[in-house]
Structure 1
Amino acid sequence: MRKNWKNKLLGLLILLLPFSFSACQDKQKDGTEAGQHMEYTCPMHPQIVQDKPGSCPICGMDLVAKQPANSPAAPVSANLNYLLQPANQTVVSSVHTTQPEQRQVEKEITMSGVVAYDTRRQYIIPARFGGRIEKLYVQFNYQPVRKGQKLYDIYSPELVTAQKELLYLVRNDPGNASLIQGAKQKLRLLGATEGQVSQLIRTGKETYTFSVYSPYNGYVLDPSVTATPPTAPTAASAPGGDGMERMGGTSSPAIGGGSSSNQESPGQGAGFAVREGMYVTTGQALLKVVDASQVWAQFNVASALVGQLRKGTPITITFNHLPGKTLSSVVNLVEPVFDAGENFARVRALLPAQEKTLLIGQLLTGKTTYSTGSALWVPKEAVLDLGTQSVAFLKVNGVFKPTAVRVGQRADDIIEVAQGLTAKDVIAANAQFLVDSESFIRVADNNR
């Protein structure tokens, strides 16, 4: 009987023992929480910290409890340990990879331009002697003229005196060849043609109105007009005309919606500054003749590409309004230009003189190719541009790690890597695929 009571007492103690331990743990936990100072902060404004719950004075959001610094981490199984590494250091993903390729690339430069007059074929016709304009035979800018065509009649006392001197020598001293030849040369230097001198000797009578003829083929302009079309085409060229009709045709030139990059003083189609009845002085610029038998293709090229163009570089030229027509030429001049705060180059190429479809101001497209030299090239999608630097994802031990690279030239869908990779490296073929948040990539931290 006594032994039975002992067994019952021992069983009761065993039943009460777990409750005793639980009560002790609860008491110890309560004591720990009571002794620990809880702080509350705003998720949007972490500078707001209070010792009790409430609302953020800035945005009004409810404050949340801050996690203590010594709080234990949640247990993680061994097969998920790699996830403990920060996401901005390595990324595990099954993505397509590629390797940089060492090779030379043929790159194409595409240039936009216009047909422009050859400035070397623009001639000023000055007054070789003073006098009064009696009659003007050209009336408007871009009027076509031929070599030997009469431009104006002028009265000049100086020219009348020179004619009388020659006639006096011919009549009174015909055997003095040297003096007669000198008098003829004086008339030639004043602008008289051989035909005018011969007619003067044949008729034996001086003329008070002397005709001046054009020494060039082309289009006549007022000297103040700039016969240069816009170098940066912004509109389609105007229809009509053929750009000179080859050496003095009868139709007006096509000037592509404006033959000048600046405003013309008299204006296209307006009269000249010189007029009938006006007195002119020796050396005064009266007219200008532009010869359109040889014209330029003029292009604007970015300064970064100027080093690939030099005199003699072949160019294939196409006409925007005639897509199937092409011409071949070479670079004749590369002119550095600084305009409107921008650095660029103006490239000129001569166009064939026999080409009759050329229109001044006509829009053109020029293409040329060059070799980039041996370099490392990767697909364009393999490099991520962050604005201040470029990044490629290098595969190391089965994971991808962002690494900074320095890029160079671009050609179609590939890009040159000047620094940061080698030909043996394996990188992600599509860098955009690995970007999943704005705080994902920190190249500086990965390179420490």
Structure 2
Amino acid sequence: MKRYLNILLLALAIVVAACKGDDHNHAEGATEYTCPMHPQVVQNEPGTCPICGMDLVPKTVHGDGVEITDDLAFLLKPTNTTVVANIATIKPEQKTAEATIKMDGIITYDPRRVYTVPARVGGRIEKLFVKYNFQQIRKGQKLMEVYSPDLITAQKELLYLVQAAPEDKQLIQAAKQKLQYLGATNDQINRLISRGEESYTFAIYSPYDGYVIDLNATAPSPAATIASAPATSAGGSMDAMGGGSAASSTTTTPGTPAGQAIQLREGMYVTVGQALVRVVNAEQLWAEFNVPAGEMNSIAKGSPIQITFPQLPGEKLQAKVDFFQPFFDEGENFAKVRVYLPRDNKQVMVGQLVSAEATYKTEAALWVPKAAILDIGTKMVAFRKGNGVFEPVEVTTGTTTAKEIQVTSGLKQSDVIAANAQFLVDSESFIKVNN
């Protein structure tokens, strides 16, 4: 009986052990589900990913799970903290470079060759032969004919002395000088003596070659005009013209304030010393260029410069800087560069737009390709590689050449940067520079 009882207990123990083994195997064989795109999502039953909506798949068949390596963990980081890309890298190069400054300018005349033809005598313009600006004139060309009581009186004095006292050479010479001071030329005086009769209109000739650039005369004040009115003279016709002069002097430019520029025209009165026309001699012309403040230290007097003409493709002119002057205008610093153009250059005209390039050698500094620097508006950024990732770094730039740009601060020669900084551009807010 005791033997049968032992056999029964042994059988019961075997059954219990078998049941425990089945439960263990069932627990070990439980399947977990995960998202193919987001391995961090894991659950014990099928379903969809709460992040992207994809169907969950069994995490593993053998129970090993998905191994999250360092590289995979790095890829799972937010995209605005690091940038991963397989791009070329470079190091800044310490060297000197040949840089070029591009400038735009204009052809202008030499102000030292601008001359004013003043009125040496007061009177009325009877005929005007120069009627528009930039009209070309020659030395000795007649500009206008003027009626002047003072000139008539001086002519009569000379004729009287020549006819009444030809032996008094001293008085005759004084009368000639008076006419010369009033603007008469030697030819006019000789013709007056040979003709023996005064002229009521007197021609004014240009003493210069060039172009008329200003036909605006300054309106005389009423007091000056009245003071220059002719006095009563012996000749009746002269009295009548003088009276007309006095009357017209107060009504020629009604309502025109003294000192205001008016257009020179026939019939108007001029006073002694009043500017009639301005003449510019265009034999020597300038090319003037404005240089930004950042490039002022790169150009000096004598620097070579190459001038091109947009209207004449292929035409180039080699010259040197003749004058360099810093300017400060409306809160902005710049410099004016002046270049004298050859006298025999027929392709340049006053007012013509031109371009120029000045080449110079920079001091030793760090240089990188222009593509390695990204301008995001408020900052200049380069992407420096560190710990396997690229991080944006703010830099300060200087001179720019055709292919390279100078870096004055923000990088070291040992830094490794992205050769092309444009690979990152998705939006400006994407780049977060650590200050």
Distance 1:273 1:436 in 2: 62
Deviation at 1:378, TM superposition (A): 0.6
Per-residue CA deviation, residues 298-323 of structure 1 (Å, 9 max, x unaligned), is 44444433443444433222222322
RMSD: 3.8
Q: Secondary structure at the match of 2:174?
A: helix
TM-fit CA distance, 1:438: 6.9
* Preserved CA contact (<8 Å) 2:103 2:291: yes
SS of 1:443 mapped into structure 2:
coil
Match of 1:327 among 293, 312, 317: 317
Query: Hey, what does 2:55 align to over in structure 1?
Result: none
Gaps in structure 2 of 5+ consecutive residues: 26-49, 53-65, 218-261
| Structure 2 residue 385 is matched with structure 1 residue 392 | no
Q: One-letter code of the match for 1:383?
A: I
Q: How many Å apart are 1:223 and its aligned residue?
A: 2.6
Letter in 2 for 1:336: F
1:224 aligns with 2:224: no
1:431 matched residue in structure 2:
421
- Please point out which of 80, 83, 92 is paired with 1:100: 92
Residue of structure 1 equivalent to 2:107:
115
- Quick check: 1:351 aligned with 2:354? no
Q: Distance in 1 between matches of 2:74 and 2:126?
A: 99
After superposition, give the CA deviation of every residue in 1:164-186 in whole Å (9 maximum; x if it has no partner): 33344445555655544433332
Change (3 A) 1:353 1:79: closer
User: Quick one: distance in 2 between partners of 1:220 and 1:394?
Assistant: 63
- Identity in percent: 51
Q: Is the 8 A contact 1:337 1:346 kept in 2?
A: no
Is 1:6 the counterpart of 2:9? The answer is yes
Q: 1:136, 1:151 within 8 Å by CA — same for their partners in 2?
A: yes
Aligned equivalents of 1:214, 1:190: Cα separation in 2:
14
Residue 185 of structure 1 corresponds to 177
Aligned to 1:136: 128
- Are the structure 2 counterparts of residues 388 and 8 from structure 1 closer, same or farther at C-alpha, using a change threshold of 3 Å? farther
Please give the alpha-carbon distance, in whole angstroms, between the structure 2 residues aligned to 1:193 and 1:311: 44
Q: Is the 8 A contact 1:118 1:296 kept in 2?
A: yes
> Cα offset for 1:210?
1.2
Match for residue 279 of structure 2 among 283, 289, 292: 289
1:25-36 aligned at under 5 Å gives the runs none
- Cα distance change of structure 1 residues 402 and 364 upon mapping to structure 2, 3 Å threshold: closer
Distance, in Å, in 2 between the alignment partners of 1:122 and 1:280 is: 21
Task: Determine the C-alpha separation between the residues in 2 that align with 1:277 and 1:437.
Answer: 71
Q: Contact between 1:124 and 1:223, CA under 8 Å: does it hold in 2?
A: no
Q: Give the aligned residue type for 1:290.
A: V
Q: Tell me if the contact between 2:216 and 2:277 (Cα under 8 Å) persists in the aligned partners.
A: no
2:216/2:264 contact within 8 Å kept: no
Is the alpha carbon distance of 1:218 and 1:77 closer, same or farther for their aligned partners in structure 2, counting shifts above 3 Å?
A: closer
Partner of residue 361, structure 1: 351
Please state whether the residue corresponding to 2:216 is helix, strand or coil: coil
Deviation at 1:96, TM superposition (A): 1.9
Q: Distance between the aligned counterparts of 1:343 and 1:337, measured in 2?
A: 5
Counterparts of 1:10-409 in structure 2, within 5 Å, are 10-15=13-18, 17=20, 76-77=68-69, 80=72, 91=83, 93-171=85-163, 178-224=170-216, 273-333=263-323, 334=325, 336=327, 338=329, 346-396=336-386, 398-409=388-399
Alpha-carbon spacing, 1:317–1:397, altered in 2? closer, same or farther (3 Å):
same
> What's the TM-score, normalizing by structure 1?
0.66
Q: C-alpha separation between the residues in 2 aligned to 1:12 and 1:441? A: 68
8 Å CA contact 1:99–1:425 kept in 2: the answer is yes
- Tell me, yes or no, if the aligned pair for 2:116 and 2:278 is still in contact at 8 Å: yes
Distance in 2 separating the partners of 1:134 and 1:438: 72
Question: Relative to structure 1, is the Cα distance of residues 17 and 390 closer, same or farther in structure 2, using a 3 angstrom cutoff?
Answer: farther
Query: Cα 1:307–1:207, aligned 2, differ >3 Å: closer, same or farther?
Result: same
| TM-score normalised by L of structure 2 | 0.68
C-alpha deviation, 1:430, in angstroms: 1.9
- Structure 1 position 92, deviation (Å): 5.5
- Aligned position for 1:266: none
- The alpha carbon displacement at 1:100 in A equals 0.9
Question: Taking structure 1 as reference, are residues 366 and 387 closer, same or farther at Cα in structure 2, changes over 3 Å only?
Answer: closer
Q: Which amino acid aligns with 2:317?
A: L
What is the rounded CA distance, in whole Å, between the counterparts of 1:188 and 1:380 in structure 2? Answer: 70
Contact kept, 8 Å, 1:223 with 1:285, in 2: the verdict is no
User: Do the aligned partners of 1:152 and 1:211 also contact (CA within 8 Å) in 2?
Assistant: yes
2: distance between equivalents of 1:436 and 1:144?
61
1:250 paired residue number: none
Distance (Å, rounded) in 2 between the aligned partners of 1:79 and 1:326: 59
How many residue pairs get aligned? The number is 352
309-318 or 209-218: bigger deviation: 309-318
Note closer, same or farther for the CA distance 1:419–1:222 as it changes in structure 2 (3 Å cut). closer
> Which amino acid in 1 is paired with 2:327?
P
Q: 1:318 to 1:389 in 2, by over 3 A?
A: closer
How many angstroms apart in 1 are the aligned matches of 2:341 and 2:287? 6
Larger radius of gyration: 2
Give the 3-state SS of the residue equivalent to 1:355 in structure 2.
Answer: coil
CA contact (8 A) 1:301 1:345 kept: yes
**Residues 182-209 of structure 1: per-residue CA shift (max 9 Å, x gap):** 3333222211112223333444443222
Q: Mean alpha-carbon deviation: is it higher for 326-335 or for 172-181?
A: 172-181
